[in-house]
Amino acid sequence: MTEEIISVRGLAKSYGKKEVVHPLNFSVKRGEILSVIGPSGAGKSTLLRMLDTIEPASEGEIILFGEKVTKHSAHSLRNRMGMLFQKTVLFERTVEENIALGLSYRFVSREETKKRVTEALESMGMSEYAQRSSRTLSGGEGQRVSFARVLVTKPEILFLDEPTANLDPVATKVLEEMILHENRVNKTTIIINTHDQAQGQRLADRVAVMMNGEFVQFGSADEVFYHPVNESVAKFVGIQNIFTGVVRNGNAVSGGVVFCPAPHFPDGIVQIMLRAEDISLSKTEVPEGRISVQGRVVSAERSGAFLNVMVDAGCIFLVICPFRQTGDTYVPGEIVQIAWRIAAVHFAKAV
């Protein structure tokens, strides 16, 4: 029974002369998690606000639960949805009163409100917070309370506008778990904006890449992360090695490096993309079944638990390897072997 719970046609938004969201067409299936990723200012927040009917569209139509969004239907449709914002919004009341706010707007009875709020606090392990002033909460606690405030209204669709952008890693993880839990247990459809492409990958069934008001790519998480459609998307999803090269004699070549055979690509200019994590680095070994080149270490930097090594092998490669696994150190000037599987190389048309 997966139907289209959200369906959008020609949806656009302009502020005066400036078009912030170009006409979009897409749909979202009931129960799925769609992640919209993209840089700040891409129009993601505006899009979500339009879908939640709290901002009017300049053009186009939105169909929610099979019903068209109009000035009259907006209010009743909104009743079945909820939204969480990047900036934690708490009102100057107790935690309990904050969580109950949406129910108060819906004139839900006091007993039912009490029941839902108590349950929500319990499930977050925050029961003793009920009477506390909202001003005393930490960032993560506050955002969880905001989330609970939305959840107690039992929305069928949830819009999350960069919900963890202001949180530390631990709080982020807790919130992400709450989000996934909500989707699994209640089959809530979720649309989440994020500029953290890894988060998008972690949470989403499908990913839409939004840049300058348009969807430049829309597909499964794997498609977007491993087969970005152009250089901008590739950079955004964290592909660090992007080279402009040519297809010659059936091979993709750049800077003297033969990357791999490219049977499906016509001769001509091409973008060659390779994830830094997909390249192996070794002082001597040349693993089998891989394309391998020799290069010279340019620099080696620690980055958390990883080592970022820049290697000049005709093209300058960035290789990321787990530092403690190998225990290896690399010195600038050292000769090394880098290698990758053919399947790890991705091509895009040069724009």
Structural tokens at position 120: 């929500």
- Name the pairing type of β-strands 251-254 and 257-261: antiparallel
Q: Angle, to 10 degrees, between the axis of helix 139-151 and the axis of helix 110-123? A: 140
Binding another protein (rule: CB under 8 A), the pick from 18, 71, 72, 75 is 75
Structural tokens at position 298: 């340019």
Q: Give the C-alpha separation, 208 to 216, whole Å.
A: 8
Binding another protein (rule: CB under 8 A), the pick from 3, 61, 70, 91 is 91
Provide CB contacts within 8 A for 335, sequence distance 6+: 283, 294, 295, 296, 297
Please count the residues of this chain forming the interface with another protein, following the rule CB under 8 A. 26
Q: Give the C-alpha separation, 218 to 53, whole Å.
A: 23
- Whether 348 and 234 have beta carbons less than 8 Å apart is answered as yes
Least distance between another protein and beta carbon 112 (Å): 16
Q: Which is nearer to another protein, 2 or 131 (CB)?
A: 131
Binding another protein (rule: CB under 8 A), the pick from 43, 85, 253, 257 is 85
Least distance between another protein and beta carbon 275 (Å): 36
Binding another protein (rule: CB under 8 A), the pick from 3, 25, 27, 54 is 54
Q: Which is nearer to another protein, 107 or 264 (CB)?
A: 107
58 binds another protein (CB under 8 A): no
Least distance between another protein and beta carbon 93 (Å): 9
Task: Tell me which H or E stretch contains 105.
Answer: helix 95-105
49 binds another protein (CB under 8 A): yes
Least distance between another protein and beta carbon 134 (Å): 9
- Name the pairing type of β-strands 33-37 and 189-194: parallel
Structural tokens at position 277: 């994590």
Q: Which is nearer to another protein, 139 or 322 (CB)?
A: 139
Task: Enumerate binding residues for another protein (CB under 8 A).
Answer: 49, 52, 54, 75, 78-79, 81-83, 85-87, 89, 91-92, 101-102, 105-106, 133, 135, 146, 149-150, 153, 159
